[in-house]
Structure 1
Amino acid sequence: MIRVIATDIDHTLIDERGVLPLINVEAIQAAAARGIRIVLATARRRQPTLEVAQRLGVPVSLVCHNGGRVWDDQDHEILHHTIDLSTARRMAVLADQHNLPFIFTIDEINLYNARVSHGTPSMVLDQTAVPSLLTAVALPPTRIVAQGLEAATLMIEALGRDQNVHLFQYSRDGELYSAIAAHPQATKENALAELCRRWGCAPGEVLALGDAEADVGMLRWAGVGVAPKGSMPQALAAANWISPSARLGGVAVAIHRYALLG
């Protein structure tokens, strides 16, 4: 019996166009009406995640920054992991030296250099452009985002063997397009495990859905892991089942298949 549904947002709950299919909303509302807890597990910051949660119209727990910060469905923050400051400042030096697009997120504020692309309107909120990331990074960040192949490769080479960070890589069609550095314990599966511990739920009672490398641990940890068609190869390999694509409402199909039958 499924008691918890945890879903990634981008390219899973929401499709590649930024569209949230109505059938996904309806399926989540039907699950919540049965008492199933809903978790949004995403690389997004709190505010953009809240915007999606509000569109669902049900109580939602938030796993933000891939597990760096976690709020339960009563809006209590239960976890907040940050990167070691010395490690972060070492990366800031490289970002300044190479003048590549990097974002350092501190207390939900994105500190960025001039080359960063903001993408969606919600990403423009709480942004601060700085002339020097090294000067600006005075507190431990929740995450470091490297945009584009060159910046992502630089961060992977610099921090790939660092025990103080966990690296998430993002690719489409086999091409690396970004990377995120976080605290070693800042993972979706760790965040989900803590929420379930508080709720008295076992992994076998969890349905998890995601499309990226950052979702792999969560897909394997949950009793049922689902990846939409078109997901990164790592997510497809970790999943118990491949759903229709995000555009076709794969989340809704999975919820009906595993949580609403019977």
Structure 2
Amino acid sequence: MPIRLIATDMDGTLLRSDHRTISPRTREAFAGAREAGIDVLAISGRQPYSIGAIVADSPLDGAVVGSNGSVAMDLLTREVLFEETLTVEAQRAIVEGILAEFPHAKVSSSREAGNTYVTQHGYAGLEDPGAEIARWEVSHRRADLDEVLAEPSVKLAILDPGVPAESLLALARSLDVPGAFPTTSGAPFLEIGKAGVSKATALARFAEARGYAPEEVVAFGDNNNDVEMLRWAGLGVAMGNAVPAALAAADQVTSHHDEDGVAKVIERLLA
């Protein structure tokens, strides 16, 4: 079947190691795909405001999926296409389980399509998300843990600077909290979303709405939060820098993200 949709993760996949720039060759490859009538989609653990700042005026500017599949938005209109949230009960249960083992962990909640952060006092490394590259203003406030967990989240981040994210992930998976889906993306924190929601479910939802079969979809990724998407797509492509789980889930492996791995595959597909 012909390729009708190309979906790409951002950090470690589409972007260079600066986590900000798309190489000229990769931009040209996506422009070529668009000219060939192929739809394209950025799909990330980032929130839409952050995705939007990076893909602005590029071939990927339009509909995007953020928060590991929990939020889809049309960047051009700011319309929220869909949103899935982690319940208060599930997030409280998983945080309690994490804190029982790692009492110094801190928590941040992303809400309202990723446009609002409520972050626990003492959480390091997220001093003001509105100050990073953002397409529009983002609300951020510090609060006690009870307030952080008081409302549903599109994504919950749990960080302990002294504990690797993979150790937090192993614990979260062992807790097996109903309603919660833990993953990691290469960032130093654990990411929790709603159970049953992933980049794969969001990609499937996006594709189905446009009449695309899985066999007509190519997906690129590099980390644990890309595994389900790589398995779902007709052609799942892992980056040369991908983690073992992503490599195992993929149909193909391309070059490192700093070596235009995504562009090389798109160029071959278009040829």
Q: TM-score range by the shorter chain?
A: 0.7 to 0.9
Greater Cα shift, 159-168 or 227-236: 159-168
Shift of 1:23: 0.7
Q: Is the 8 A contact 2:200 2:229 kept in 1?
A: yes
- Residue number among 30, 39, 52 corresponding to 1:37 in the alignment: 39
1:47 counterpart SS class: helix
Greater Cα shift, 246-255 or 138-147: 138-147
Instruction: Please name the residue that 2:247 is paired with.
Output: 236
Instruction: Please name the residue that 2:67 is paired with.
Output: 65
Q: In the TM superposition, what are the counterparts of 1:102-121 in structure 2 within 5 Å?
A: 102-107=107-112, 108=114, 109-113=116-120, 114-118=122-126, 121=132
Shift of 1:49: 0.8
Instruction: Please name the residue that 1:48 is paired with.
Output: 50
User: Is the alpha carbon distance of 1:210 and 1:149 closer, same or farther for their aligned partners in structure 2, counting shifts above 3 Å?
Assistant: farther
Q: Is the 8 A contact 2:218 2:236 kept in 1?
A: yes
User: Is the alpha carbon distance of 1:246 and 1:155 closer, same or farther for their aligned partners in structure 2, counting shifts above 3 Å?
Assistant: closer
User: Is the alpha carbon distance of 1:129 and 1:254 closer, same or farther for their aligned partners in structure 2, counting shifts above 3 Å?
Assistant: same
User: Is the alpha carbon distance of 1:129 and 1:83 closer, same or farther for their aligned partners in structure 2, counting shifts above 3 Å?
Assistant: same
TM-score after normalising by structure 2: 0.84
User: Is the alpha carbon distance of 1:237 and 1:156 closer, same or farther for their aligned partners in structure 2, counting shifts above 3 Å?
Assistant: closer
1:66 counterpart SS class: helix
Shift of 1:169: 2.6
User: Is the alpha carbon distance of 1:55 and 1:9 closer, same or farther for their aligned partners in structure 2, counting shifts above 3 Å?
Assistant: farther
User: Is the alpha carbon distance of 1:225 and 1:136 closer, same or farther for their aligned partners in structure 2, counting shifts above 3 Å?
Assistant: closer
TM-score after normalising by structure 1: 0.87
Greater Cα shift, 103-112 or 243-252: 103-112
User: Is the alpha carbon distance of 1:28 and 1:158 closer, same or farther for their aligned partners in structure 2, counting shifts above 3 Å?
Assistant: closer
Shift of 1:56: 1.4
- Over residues 154-185 of structure 1, what are the superposed CA-to-partner deviations in whole Å (9 max), with x where a residue is unaligned? 575356311211111345xxxx9422110012
Instruction: Please name the residue that 2:171 is paired with.
Output: 157
Shift of 1:102: 2.2
Identity across matched positions, percent: 24
1:70 counterpart SS class: strand
- Residue number among 147, 158, 162 corresponding to 1:146 in the alignment: 158
User: Is the alpha carbon distance of 1:31 and 1:154 closer, same or farther for their aligned partners in structure 2, counting shifts above 3 Å?
Assistant: closer
- Uncovered stretches (5+) of structure 2, i.e. residues with no partner: none
Shift of 1:199: 0.7
Instruction: Please name the residue that 1:15 is paired with.
Output: 16
- Residue number among 85, 88, 91 corresponding to 1:85 in the alignment: 88
- Over residues 70-104 of structure 1, what are the superposed CA-to-partner deviations in whole Å (9 max), with x where a residue is unaligned? 13587543321111112223455666993423211
